[in-house]
Structure 1
Amino acid sequence: MSSVETLAYFLEEDSLRGVMRDWPEAMQLMVRLDGAGRCELLVHHRDEAGRVLETLREALGEEAETLAVVPQVEGFATRRVRFSEEQQLLALAASTEGLSESAQDYAINYRFACEEGLDPEAVIGQRARPFADEFESDLPQVSERRAVRRAAPAPEPRLFPEGYEAASDPARRECTLVSAQLHGQGARVRLTLDPETSQGNEMPVTVGNVGHSADFGCFVLPRGALADWQAGVALVIDMPQEQFPEAWAARFRKQTHHAQVSITATGIFVRPMLPETVAPPEAPMVEVEEGWSLRRPLRAALVVIGMVLLGGSLAIGWSPFAIAEDGAGSLVPARTGLAALAGAEAVR
C-alpha cells in the first residue's frame, strides 16, 4: 500500500474571482498535490467536478484509496486544510501565467458543446489540461505515513508565542505598511488602500473569504487579492458583510474607520482603528491661595463696601455745591454728610 496521500483541492469560482478579476463564471480549478511536492492544476466547469474526480481515481489505480478531496465529497476521504494553506493555493493560481485566459477559452468551448448537444470532453479533448503538467511546488506536503511512526523528536523551545517569529527570518522579510479606510457599501464592507490617492473610479476587487483573529481585532485577506497592485496607488476591495461579526459590520455602516494594513508574503492583515472620541472642553483653572476660605472674600467685600460708603459721605460733606441760607438772608456753604452729623452732636 502506498504511504503517499494525494489531495484534490477544488478552488471554487468565488474564491478564484477574489484573486483574478476576469475569472469566468461557473469555472473551477482543481489543485492536485502529492507527498513528493508535485502539483498540477486542472481547469474545468463546475458541472464536471464528479467526472474529474473519477478520472483522477482511475489514474491512481491501486493508490486510489489514498485520495482525499477538499471540500468533502461523498464517497471520498477528506482531510483538514488550514486557512494559510488555502491562501497559498489561491496565490499559486493567481501567479500562474495564462491560467485565467485558459479558463475563458475552456468556458467558451464548454458552452458551445452544451448548446450543440455534444459531449464537452470530446469537443475540448486534451485542451482541457493545459496546466496538468507536473511541476515542483513549495506548498505544504500532504504525505501521511500510515505505517508505525517513530516518535518525533521533542520540539525545540520557542522564543516567541505561536504566530510570532523574528523579522530576520528570510520567509518573513516582506512587509509593506499601508494606510486604509473601511466603510459599509450596500451589503459589502469596502476596504480602500491608499485612499488619499483615490480617483473615485477604481474597479473594486471582490474577496469572498475573510479570516479573523481570535479577538476579531484583525482580519486577513488572501495575498493574491492584490494582483499587480503597487504601493502609492489606490485599490478598492469589497467583502460580504456576512464575513464580519455584526459588531464590526454595524460600525462600518455607521461611519468610516481608518485602518492599518500590513502586507506580507502570507496575506493582507487589516487592523481597524476605533474612531477617536472628542473629549469635553476642560474647565478654566482657578488658582487659590493656601488658607483660602469663604469668609476671607466676604470680609474683603465688606471692607470695600465700607470704604465706598465712607468716601461717598466725605464727598457729600465737603461738596462746594451744597449751599444754605443764614439768618441774615445770605447764602453760605451748607454742612452735609459727616459735617452735619458732627454739628448735630455739638448742638446736643
Structure 2
Amino acid sequence: MVFEMSSVETLAYFLEEDSLRGVMRDWPEAMQLMVRLDEAGRCELLVHHRDEAGRVLETLREGLGEEAETLAVVPPVEGFATRRVRFSEEQQLLALAASTEGLSESAQDYAINYRFACEEGLDPEAVVGPRARPLADEPESDLPQVAERRAARRQTQPDPRPEPAPAPAPEPRLFPAGFEAANDPARRECSLVTAQLHGQGARVRLSFEPGALQGAEIPVVVENVGHSADFGCFVLPRGALAGWQPGAPLVIDMPQEQFPEAWAARFRRQTHHAQVSVTATGVFVRPVLPEPAAPPEAPMVELAEGWSLGRPLRAALLVAGMVAAGGGVALGWNPFSVGEETAAPMIPARTGLAALAGAETAR
C-alpha cells in the first residue's frame, strides 16, 4: 500500500461504520476504525466507538509529541491538518480492514464492553482501554471495579429488570431464504448497471458503463469475491463502490484465483457482457454467455427455366411409346394404382416415320 505522504509524516484515516459494514457485514453499530500510517510504512489499526474519536486523536497527538504538526486527519477535523485521499487509496484501506483476521470480532467485543461501561457508570477508557480484555472472556474477579459495583447493587436493591419474556415463535416464511419483498425499507436501494467482463493479465476486469470509459480510470482492486452455489452469479462487497454514483463508469479488478477456472478461461478468451445489480447488501454480477453461432444456411437449388411438373410425365410416356414400338407386352405404371403392376395393351410394331408419329401422338 503506497501513499504519497508529501510533507505529512503521519496520517490518521477514520473509516466509518457504513463503509466498514460494506466489506464486513457483521461490523457492529457505532464502531469505527482508525488507520494510522507513517512515512516509514508502518500501519496500525485502532478500533473505537464513534464518540471516542476526539479522545483517540488527542492520544495520538500526545504520543507524537514535538512531531504533532506532521499529523494529518481524514476526514478533516478542526484543529488538525488534512490531505486529499484518492478513491483508490480508500478502497485499499477498506480491503486491508476486510482482510485483517479477527478485526470484526474485536470490534464486537469492544462495542459490548463500551456499552456495559456506560450503563454501569464507569469510565469507558478504564474498561475498554488498550490494556482491557473482553468482558465476555474473563471472570468478574479480573475486573475489580465492575465486580464491586455489581455486588453493591445486589445488596442494596433487587434487580428491577423483569425476567425476559420467551421469544415468540418465528412466523412462517413467505419466500425461500435469500428472497424478500421489494417494498422492504432495507431493500429499496437497487441500481442496474451495464457492464463487461474480460481477462486482464492475472486479473478479471469488470467495467461499469463501458461506453463511457475514458481509458484513464484507475481500477479499484477487490480481493474478496463470493459465488452462488451454481457459480452463475458472484457478489462483491458494497464498500467496494464507496463514492460511485449510478450511471458513472468504473473499473474493478479481481484476482483470477477468486473465480472457477471455467469462468476465468472464458474471460481470458472473450469479453462477456454482464448484468449488475447494486444493492445495499452487495454488488451482484451475472455474466451473460455469448449467443452460439448460427449454423450455415443450406445452399439454394436453382431450377432451370421452363421446368414444369408435366415434363417428367411426358418423358415417361415417350419412353413407354418407344418400348411399345418394339413389339410384345410391356409392364406399365398406373398412376391411379400405386404399387400394382398392370399389363400395357399390345401395340403393333411400327418402324420408321410411323413409329415416330405414334410416339408424337402419345405425347
TM-score by length of 1: 0.48
Q: Which has the higher contact order (CA 8 A, sep 6+)?
A: 1
TM-score by length of 2: 0.47
